[in-house]
Structure 1
Amino acid sequence: MTMVDIAANKALARSYFTMLEADDAAGALALLSDDALWTVPGESELAGTMTKADVLAMFEGGLPFAAPLAFVIHDMIAEGDRVVVRVEGRAPLKDGRDYHNFYVFIFTIAAGRIMSVIEHTDTLYSFRALIEPQQPGGG
């Protein structure tokens, strides 16, 4: 049986948010295994499962933030190979509005890499704030 280093797993999850705050999406995504999957549960337009390459393409596609997201980690709970992080994210948008959303991320970690992420968030708010204004006739 492999011993799990819970402190190291929590540090890895925290590093993910630290890198995003530093505008280092490539560094943050480098923490994911090559075959990692990122899932947003539900039935919304933003729900589904993405590969690491899909997540990278999303970041490279130009999100409508005027500055990197700033995160406030409210809770970080770890057990076994999982780290659950309740976090609040804020950033100004390029159109001058403020983005402010709440998340619960469930990271599964093995061998020092993030193997999967389940992201629970207000997808309706995200769609209205990030996607809808970009669509023809939106915002």
Structure 2
Amino acid sequence: MTFTDAKSVVLAYLKAIDERDPDAIQATLWEDAEFRIPGDHALAGNWVGLDEILNKFMLPLMDLFSTEVPYIIETSQVIAEGDTVVLDCVARAAARSGEPYEANIVSVFSIQDGRIKAMREFFDTQYFVRTLIATG
């Protein structure tokens, strides 16, 4: 998969997430990509490589959401400079219990040769746990 610029890579990644398409997500990532959610909480972690990112982070994470309600990412800002992209967005979905989920997220992506090399994500993790994990 070839992209013309760093912003396009991130937008393709977001579209793949909206569509819950693991193959399309994988196509936007390097084999040795690294995703990190900083902090000292249940959701904090560091996932390296496609297998860990997809199978130990993203797919289990998506299982926390209702399949009856679309998972939608609405972007507020996408700022790209060189190979760095900063995304400010709101994720809207529902927990498996049906409870609405709305989270403000800021993600910082490092792009290398048309694919995501690294991502750090920042959001209200207590809200995430309370809404998606505590309610099941």
- TM-score for both structures, normalised by structure 2: 0.86
**Which AA in structure 1 matches 2:63?**
L
In 1, Cα distance between the equivalents of 2:64 and 2:45?
Answer: 20
SS of 1:54's partner is helix
Once the two structures are superposed, the pairs formed by residues 46-125 of structure 1 within 5 Å of their partners are: 46-51=43-48, 52-57=50-55, 58-61=57-60, 63-67=63-67, 68-125=70-127
Matched residue, 2:9: 12
CA distance in 2, matches of 1:29, 1:130: 24
Contact 1:26 1:56 in 2 (8 A): no
Unmatched tracts of structure 2, length 5 or more: none
User: Percent of pairs identical after alignment?
Assistant: 30
Name the CA shift for 1:54/1:130 in 2 (closer, same or farther; >3 Å): farther
Pick which of 96-105 and 43-52 moved more: 43-52
| Contact 1:107–1:115 (Cα < 8 Å) also in 2 | yes
| Structure 1: tracts of 5 or more residues without a match | 1-6, 135-139
Residues 34, 53 of structure 2: 8 Å contact kept: no
Q: Could you list the structure 1 runs, at least 4 aligned residues long, displaced by more than 4 angstroms after superposition.
A: none
Classify the secondary structure of the residue corresponding to 1:133.
coil
Alignment root-mean-square deviation, CA: 1.6
Q: How far 1:114 moved relative to its partner?
A: 0.3
1:35 aligns with 2:37: no
Q: Which has the larger radius of gyration?
A: 1
Aligned residues: 128
